[in-house]
């Protein structure tokens, strides 16, 4: 996948340094971990899980890169949520130096299109830490609608949760 400014890749074993830069930054992980950070072992495990999701389900939180500079921007993608109903969860994590540049929205639009066009998703799910209002604002801009609060074990909090339904043509 590509967008006007971004190129998507697939996580591989040798991408551990990129994963460490992204998920090793406590500013990036403060809203996705109960203690606000991931250990190197947890980051390695997360990377393995992303690789496994790609192998099993053709989805992951794909690494994204600035096409002009080749710089690693973060990741954006899908994970299985309720495969029996063809529902996937959308998520994105951006490196701090790329916040506020519109990369999250740009990447998410590409991933939403992939979900419906390639995976034939029935709908998408997304949630965010209740203390991360910026993520909630972005989900709303993307067309997600709040549905409920859902417990998210990695943070130990109830996260505002949303769904996205593609309107028929």
What are 141-166's pLDDT values in tens digits?
999 999 999 999 999 999 999 999 98
- The enclosing domain of 91 has a CATH number of 3.40.630.30
Q: Residue 168 has what pLDDT? A: 61
C-alpha span between 80 and 104 (Å, rounded): 20
**Residue 69, in any domain of the structure:** yes
**Residue 81, in any domain of the structure:** yes
What are 35-60's pLDDT values in tens digits?
989 999 999 999 999 999 999 999 99
What are 6-19's pLDDT values in tens digits?
999 999 999 999 99
**Residue 145, in any domain of the structure:** yes
Contact 90, 124 (CB under 8 A): yes
The reported pTM is: 0.94
Query: What are the C-alpha distances in Å from 88 to residues 24, 31, 82, 114, 139?
Result: 25, 20, 7, 11, 15
**Residue 154, domain extent:** 6-164
Number of domains in the chain: 1
């Amino acid at each position: 996948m590509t967008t006007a400014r971004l190129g998507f890749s697939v996580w591989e074993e040798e991408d551990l340094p990129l994963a460490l830069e992204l998920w090793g930054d406590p500013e990036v992980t403060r809203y996705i971990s109960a203690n606000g950070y991931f250990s190197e072992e947890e980051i390695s495990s997360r990377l393995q899980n992303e690789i496994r999701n790609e192998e099993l389900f053709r989805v992951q939180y794909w690494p994204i890169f600035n096409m002009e500079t080749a710089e690693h921007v973060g990741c954006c993608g899908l994970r299985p949520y309720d495969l029996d109903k063809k529902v996937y969860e959308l998520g994105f994590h951006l490196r701090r130096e790329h916040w506020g540049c519109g990369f999250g929205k740009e990447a998410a639009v590409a991933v939403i299109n992939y979900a419906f066009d390639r995976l034939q998703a029935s709908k998408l799910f997304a949630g965010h830490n209740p203390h991360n209002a910026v993520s909630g604002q972005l989900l709303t801009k993307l067309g997600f609608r709040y549905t409920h609060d859902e417990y998210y074990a990695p943070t130990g909090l109830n996260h505002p949760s949303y769904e996205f339904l593609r309107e028929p043509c």
